[in-house]
Homo-oligomer: A and B are copies of this chain.
């Protein structure tokens, strides 16, 4: 896939590298020193250019002013995001491909960040802390952009989390439906059970669980637009009696349930609040319940891209598995199953990006050009991060120490929609 950003002009006037003024050459060298030998051609407005020796560039990044050039040296990630969104950087070629190449070439991930970058990152953590008030502001920034906007590029059910593609060629619609069902089957939902969902988006999972599995659901969300939409859908589908959408913070979940599920919310907790979240889970399902957490994670500790936190997802934090264990281990929850769906999120994001590009004019009309460029960068960067493995998608199934429902093997997830009789008999014998 390729999303031509701007056609390169004045190609004939491009200077050879050895003809660069010394200062520009130094700046360009510093950028490559920071990002590693990524196969891109950096071009300055006057036409001067540089690319790493011996590699064949996959795209051209044009830097339109010298201030941007200087900022890229000091703080490359933040400066790139800001300048791309403003149009002061233009990319000719596959933006996601460029970003993936930079992920691959970046020396030691982003560990080489300067003290300035480190300090700015910590300062941002403090500003965006997910207190009850902070969470509301952080979540509304992103999820209350408007349902019409999300309708342009999400699937028809507005599922805004990683889909599950039984095969890479499954359609997005089918893959989101498959994901909803996969979660229900991993949880082994049974008719009559009660489920609490923390962070329910536009309600697709809650409604799927109630309609297909006969459970009752209380679903919490602090996005006002999403809650309104979900309630209307529940009413339209005659499910209001079994699915209650509550516009409130996860910290205010009350009541006893059989099952706890949270899809795409752990990222919005902030690592400082994991213990609180574990308390909420344990208060809700105790030692006999079971649950599933679905979230974006990483393989080593560290903050999310500062530009993404500044412009797209304030307060976001993708934990490692060991950090996520701080939610479950204090309550002696058994991790039953962890699946890493990283390639499925890369594919999901490719679908979203393709749809987004097809609607880019409408996005500009609706939200402005800056917004359209910022969101293109966010979606492209996410494709790149999941392709390159900088981000993962973890689904963790867990069960309380007294939970009577543990699957004998995982085979029924793939071979049969219902557990075998023998399996069920064993479960009763163990409980």
Closest 8 CB pairs of A and B: A338-B338, A322-B325, A322-B322, A414-B414, A411-B414, A168-B426, A299-B332, A336-B340
Does A204 reach chain B (CB closer than 8 Å)? no
Does A321 reach chain B (CB closer than 8 Å)? yes
Tell me the smallest distance from the CB of A379 to a CB of chain B, in Å.
Answer: 19
30 contacts between A and B (CB under 8 A): A109-B332, A166-B409, A167-B408, A299-B332, A299-B333, A299-B334, A300-B332, A320-B329, A321-B321, A321-B335, A322-B326, A322-B329, A325-B325, A334-B340, A334-B342, A334-B389, A335-B338, A335-B392, A337-B339, A338-B338, A339-B410, A343-B426, A343-B430, A387-B430, A409-B414, A410-B410, A410-B413, A413-B414, A414-B414, A415-B415
Decide if B330 touches A300 in the complex (CB within 8 Å): yes
Specify which chain B residues have a CB less than 8 angstroms from the CB of A394 in the assembled complex: 335
Specify which chain B residues have a CB less than 8 angstroms from the CB of A339 in the assembled complex: 337, 410
Specify which chain B residues have a CB less than 8 angstroms from the CB of A338 in the assembled complex: 335, 337-338
Specify which chain B residues have a CB less than 8 angstroms from the CB of A330 in the assembled complex: 300
Decide if A401 touches B389 in the complex (CB within 8 Å): yes
Does A10 reach chain B (CB closer than 8 Å)? no
Decide if B410 touches A329 in the complex (CB within 8 Å): no
Beyond A167-B422, A334-B389, 9 additional contacts (C-beta under 8 Å) are A166-B409, A167-B408, A167-B423, A299-B401, A320-B325, A321-B329, A339-B410, A343-B406, A343-B408
Specify which chain B residues have a CB less than 8 angstroms from the CB of A168 in the assembled complex: 408, 422, 426
Does A12 reach chain B (CB closer than 8 Å)? no
A338 to B339, CA, bound (A): 7
A72 to B339, CA, bound (A): 44
Specify which chain B residues have a CB less than 8 angstroms from the CB of A389 in the assembled complex: 334, 401
Does A169 reach chain B (CB closer than 8 Å)? yes
Tell me the smallest distance from the CB of A253 to a CB of chain B, in Å.
Answer: 23
Chain A residues numbered 377-430 whose CB sits less than 8 Å from any CB in chain B: 387, 389, 392, 394, 401, 406, 408-411, 413-415, 420, 422-423, 426, 430
Q: Size class of A's contact patch?
A: 35 or more
Specify which chain B residues have a CB less than 8 angstroms from the CB of A411 in the assembled complex: 166, 414
Instruction: Find the B residue at minimum CB distance from A323.
Output: B322
Specify which chain B residues have a CB less than 8 angstroms from the CB of A387 in the assembled complex: 430
Instruction: Find the B residue at minimum CB distance from A400.
Output: B389
Tell me the smallest distance from the CB of A420 to a CB of chain B, in Å.
Answer: 8
A167 to B424, CA, bound (A): 11
A323 to B331, CA, bound (A): 16
Specify which chain B residues have a CB less than 8 angstroms from the CB of A326 in the assembled complex: 322
Instruction: Find the B residue at minimum CB distance from A412.
Output: B414
Instruction: Find the B residue at minimum CB distance from A108.
Output: B332
Chain A residues numbered 275-332 whose CB sits less than 8 Å from any CB in chain B: 299-301, 320-323, 325-326, 328-330, 332
A322 to B387, CA, bound (A): 25
A415 to B415, CA, bound (A): 7
**Residue in B165, B321, B342, B406 whose beta carbon sits within 8 Å of that of A322 in the complex:** B321
Chain A residues numbered 104-120 whose CB sits less than 8 Å from any CB in chain B: 109
Specify which chain B residues have a CB less than 8 angstroms from the CB of A332 in the assembled complex: 109, 299-300
A430 to B164, CA, bound (A): 17
Specify which chain B residues have a CB less than 8 angstroms from the CB of A323 in the assembled complex: 322
**Residue in B329, B337, B392, B422 whose beta carbon sits within 8 Å of that of A340 in the complex:** B337
Chain A residues numbered 143-170 whose CB sits less than 8 Å from any CB in chain B: 164-169
A338 to B337, CA, bound (A): 5
Instruction: Find the B residue at minimum CB distance from A392.
Output: B334
A67 to B334, CA, bound (A): 38
Specify which chain B residues have a CB less than 8 angstroms from the CB of A392 in the assembled complex: 334-335
Chain A residues numbered 230-258 whose CB sits less than 8 Å from any CB in chain B: none
A124 to B393, CA, bound (A): 40
Specify which chain B residues have a CB less than 8 angstroms from the CB of A342 in the assembled complex: 334, 406
A221 to B387, CA, bound (A): 38
Decide if B321 touches A300 in the complex (CB within 8 Å): no
A168 to B429, CA, bound (A): 11
